[in-house]
Structure formats: C-alpha cells, structure tokens
A and B are shown apart, each in its own frame.
Chain A
C-alpha cells in the first residue's frame, strides 16, 4: 500500500521568496516519487521525479526536491518564486511492482503575491 500526504492545501509566498511545498509518503516498497503541476482546466505536467537515483532531483522551471528516506519526505522547493508559478501542485507516489499506478496527494494551491 502507498499513500501521500501534502501538508498545507494552500501556500502563499511573495514573488522572489522561497517556495517550499511539503510531501510525505508511505510505501511498503522502494518508491518512485513525482511532483506535478496543474494549471486550471488542464492536465498535469511533470516537474520532476525520483526513481532511486540521485536523492536531490532537479526539475523544470527551477524546481528541485530532495528524497529523504529517514524522514519519508520529498519536499519541493524553488529559491525564488515567480508569478507564473501560481498553480496547483501534486505529489505522487508509485512503485515499479505496483503496475506504475500513481497515488496522488490532495494537492497544494500555490499563490504568489507581488
């Protein structure tokens, strides 16, 4: 069984400030972890993924995430927020042995203010 918990359904930051979106996972087998971004009425776009290689993963648009097994976390960060980063962000977990089914967190709405 696998699950994802995203702390904070809404996060608000100022433009230029650090973005930190939290994700904790639970998995009975080594996980694959993903962060997706969704803009209104659109599908999901992959930001980055962890698939058992380097624990610090760099993605698109300046985002990165670090896999910490001891903390069962995969938090998403960006050093400097931009207005265009305002969107819904989903953390997801899957496992190779689970047919690659994705289990999503409840999402975090990121608001970027001037």
Chain B
C-alpha cells in the first residue's frame, strides 16, 4: 500500500486569509496526486490533479488562482486556499495512486469564519 499524511486535520481561519494544506506520501514517490473537496453529506469532487514538477490540472469550474497547488517533490503536494471565504469551508482530501489503487489522506476540515 501507501501511507498518505495530510496536515492539518482541521483549521479555522478568518475570511480573507490564506490557508495551506499539505499532503505527504510517506513511503512512495508519487508523480501525481489528487485533491478532492467534499461538502457535508455529499460526495467527493475532484478539484485538480497535482503533477510533480509541472502545473496542476484543474477540473472545470475550479478557480486555479484561488486554489494554488504546488507539487515540488515526489512526496509532497500542497493546496493553498487563497483569500478564503466562508463558502470555501469544506473537507479537503488528497490522494495518490499506486497502481490501480488510490490511497487517501485523513482529510482537512477547513472552516472560514
């Protein structure tokens, strides 16, 4: 398998500030990681594909300037929510694939007040 560590597990921030979420692969070098968003009582929606050493690929409707993704190494991808607003409050989850199987981080609960 693969171990994926996501940090922080929860964060509260003020409206207008930026928040960085880290996703680390602890035992596997991942050239690609995925970032998902999950609203309460809803499914996971893919936001973007994080590519090591190159630009992320964003899904339709996701603002790339608001959700900055950096994949600077094979074991770390970061998602920065810039100028956060209450509507950005959500559960964010990262994942990576090893073969055909996806492994998920523990998720980050973001609350913007």
Q: Which residues of A contact B (CB under 8 A)?
A: 32, 34, 36, 41-46, 49, 51, 90, 94, 96, 99-107, 109
Contact = CB atoms under 8 A, between A and B. Distances in A.
Nearest to A44: B104
A90 B106 CA distance: 16
B100 A49 contact: yes
B109 interface: yes
Contacts of B102: 34, 46, 94, 100, 102
A27 B41 CA distance: 25
Contacts, number: 58
**Chain B contact residues: over half helix, strand or loop, or mixed?**
strand
Contacts of B32: 99-100
A100 B106 CA distance: 20
Interface of B: 4, 6, 9-10, 32, 34, 41-46, 49, 91, 93, 95, 97, 100-107, 109
A54 B95 CA distance: 26
A104 B43 contact: yes
Contacts of B43: 90, 104-107
Which 4 residue pairs across A and B have the least CB separation, nearest first?
A: A43-B104, A100-B97, A44-B104, A104-B43
A43 B49 contact: no
A32 B104 CA distance: 17
A99 B59 CA distance: 14
Nearest to B103: A46
